[in-house]
């Protein structure tokens, strides 16, 4: 019970026949005695057993499906992962700082203000997310679906930045009609 072996690295499991086979190059050998923990699962189908609204991060059990009321369901998913280089991050931070300075702090004093610094950070994250969306669209791997997730993240960061910057902008006063003197 001291070593945990990894599927597809140390062994391959055939779920149809229920057999475990050692994998060439893995740390598990054919003559070794092992303890196998196995938890059976049921595969539920989208549109049959549940509905998924990924744009709202919402999953709902369908009354006509096989999922029982109160049943615990485990979700298996693959997160979206993108590697962002240090160069992209550095450029995004520089660009965001410049945007905030130009917009609300031309005297370049915002580093002393944590709110403006946070606004610049959100702006930098927005830029990085938009770059990731562009990369997804250009790669055409998963098309618009993954790119739209990055765009939604970017929009959220943009809203947070705008909310923080709002207090630093001069108040807008509606134009007055000319007054005859």
Alpha carbons 29 and 33: distance in angstroms, whole number: 9
User: 144-166 and 86-104 helices cross at what angle (nearest 10)?
Assistant: 40
- How confident is the model over 95-114, as pLDDT tens digits? 888 888 888 877 766 566 77
- How confident is the model over 41-65, as pLDDT tens digits? 788 888 999 998 876 778 899 999 9
What DSSP state is assigned to residue 52?
A: E
CB atoms within 10 A of CB 49: 16
Q: What is the mean pLDDT of residues 156-180?
A: 78
- How confident is the model over 158-167, as pLDDT tens digits? 999 998 888 7
Helix, strand or coil, per DSSP, at residue 99: helix
pLDDT at 67: 92
* Averaged pLDDT of the chain: 81
140 has a pLDDT exceeding 60: yes
Question: What residue spans define the domains of the chain?
Answer: 1-40, 42-77, 86-166
Tokens of 160: 């947070």
Q: What is the mean pLDDT of residues 88-93?
A: 85
Alpha carbon of residue 143 to chain centroid: 16
Percent of the chain topping pLDDT 70: 83
Q: What is the pTM of this model?
A: 0.48
Tokens of 5: 């072996």
3 has a pLDDT exceeding 70: yes
pLDDT at 158: 92
């Amino acid at each position: 019970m001291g070593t945990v072996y990894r599927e597809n690295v140390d062994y391959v499991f055939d779920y149809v026949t229920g057999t475990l086979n050692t994998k060439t190059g893995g740390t598990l050998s054919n003559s070794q005695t092992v303890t196998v923990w196995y938890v059976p699962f049921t595969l539920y189908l989208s549109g049959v057993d549940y509905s998924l609204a990924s744009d709202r991060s919402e999953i709902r059990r369908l009354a006509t499906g096989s999922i029982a009321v109160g049943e615990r369901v485990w979700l298996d998913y693959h997160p979206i992962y993108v590697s962002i280089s240090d160069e992209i991050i550095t450029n995004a931070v520089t660009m965001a700082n410049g945007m905030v300075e130009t917009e609300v702090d031309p005297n370049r004093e915002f580093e002393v203000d944590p709110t403006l610094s946070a606004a610049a950070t959100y702006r930098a994250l927005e830029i990085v997310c938009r770059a990731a969306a562009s990369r997804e669209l250009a790669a055409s791997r998963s098309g618009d679906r993954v790119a739209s997730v990055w765009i939604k993240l970017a929009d959220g960061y943009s809203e947070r930045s705008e909310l923080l910057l709002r207090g630093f902008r001069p108040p807008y006063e509606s134009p007055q009609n000319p007054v005859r003197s």
